[in-house]
């Protein structure tokens, strides 16, 4: 188990850090019963999942009022964002997850941590459009498959924050070949040198 509790690029209060550590402990316990994260990543859960999720927070526009996380799974990045949002007083976070066991975990985490967020236990393509200022999705689908879901829930003028691995450039090319246009920034990941955070704006299709 890692003993480093850093959040590169972020300055948060001790109270928020304590909440994130409590969430980490809860995720470890539940992962023994259900697959919240890949078992191989559990020993380094803080860096691989919590810090990796938290780095999305400062990339959102300052005026963000609503945030939708697609395929929230074990709460990465959505529940981490909700914890950071609690300190900031905004935005309102919605977690969309179709796996009922993972939804049970998310509800338990929110209750035990005293954090507010909305949980929609539906597939992203079936959930009511959220018109969110920010849409995030982590390890959900390749970009050509993911962008229709992002577009469904993104408000006009909104921002998508999508963590991607070493094949991010190939995924961007494939999305453009599938008819998507957007303004894209591939921002360096603070937790994985080969990964990027794709920040997409002006998303349209056709």
Q: How many domains does the chain have?
A: 1
Contact 163, 52 (CB under 8 A): yes
Annotated binding site: 71, 76, 124-125, 138
List, for residues 91-147, the tens digit of each pLDDT value.
999 999 999 999 999 999 999 999 999 999 999 999 999 999 999 999 899 999 999
Rounded to two decimals, the pTM is 0.94
Task: Flag whether 71 is in a domain.
Answer: yes
**Residue 8, domain member (yes or no):** no
Evaluate if residue 200 carries a pLDDT over 60. yes
Residue 58 falls inside a structural domain: yes
pLDDT tens digit sequence for 18-41: 999 999 999 999 998 898 988 888
- In the structure, what pLDDT confidence band is assigned to residue 4 with cuts at 50, 70 and 90? low
The domain of 155 spans: 14-205
Instruction: Flag whether 82 is in a domain.
Output: yes
In a domain, 91, yes or no: yes
- The answer as to whether 54 is a domain residue is yes
Tell me, what CATH number does 107's domain have?
3.40.50.150
Extract the annotated binding site for S-adenosyl-L-methionine.
71, 76, 124-125, 138
Q: Please state, as a whole number, how many other Cβ atoms lie within 10 Å of the Cβ of residue 161.
A: 24
Determine, yes or no, domain membership for 25.
yes
What is the DSSP annotation of 19-43? Answer: HHHHHHHHHHHHHTTS-SS-GGGGG
- Residue 120 makes CB contacts below 8 A (sequence gap 6+) with 94, 95, 96, 97, 127, 128
Residue 93 lies in a domain: yes
């Amino acid at each position: 188990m890692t003993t480093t509790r850093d959040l590169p690029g972020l300055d948060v209060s001790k109270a928020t850090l304590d909440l994130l550590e409590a969430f980490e402990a809860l995720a470890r316990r539940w992962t023994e019963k259900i697959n919240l994260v890949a078992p191989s990543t559990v020993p380094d859960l803080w860096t691989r999942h919590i810090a990796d999720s938290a780095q999305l927070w400062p990339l959102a526009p300052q005026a963000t009022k609503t945030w939708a996380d697609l395929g929230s799974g074990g709460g990465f990045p959505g529940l981490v964002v909700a914890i950071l949002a609690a300190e900031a007083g905004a935005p309102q976070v919605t977690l969309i997850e179709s796996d009922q066991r993972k939804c049970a975990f998310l509800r338990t985490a929110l209750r035990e941590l005293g954090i507010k967020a909305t949980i929609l236990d539906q597939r992203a393509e079936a959930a009511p459009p959220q018109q969110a200022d920010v849409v995030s999705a982590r390890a959900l689908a390749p970009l050509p498959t993911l962008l229709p879901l992002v577009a469904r829930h993104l408000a006009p003028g909104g921002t998508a924050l999508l963590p991607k691995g070493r094949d991010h450039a190939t995924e961007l090319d494939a999305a453009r070949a599938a008819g998507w246009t957007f303004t894209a920034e591939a921002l360096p990941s603070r937790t994985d040198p080969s990964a990027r955070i794709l920040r997409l704006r002006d998303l349209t299709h056709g």
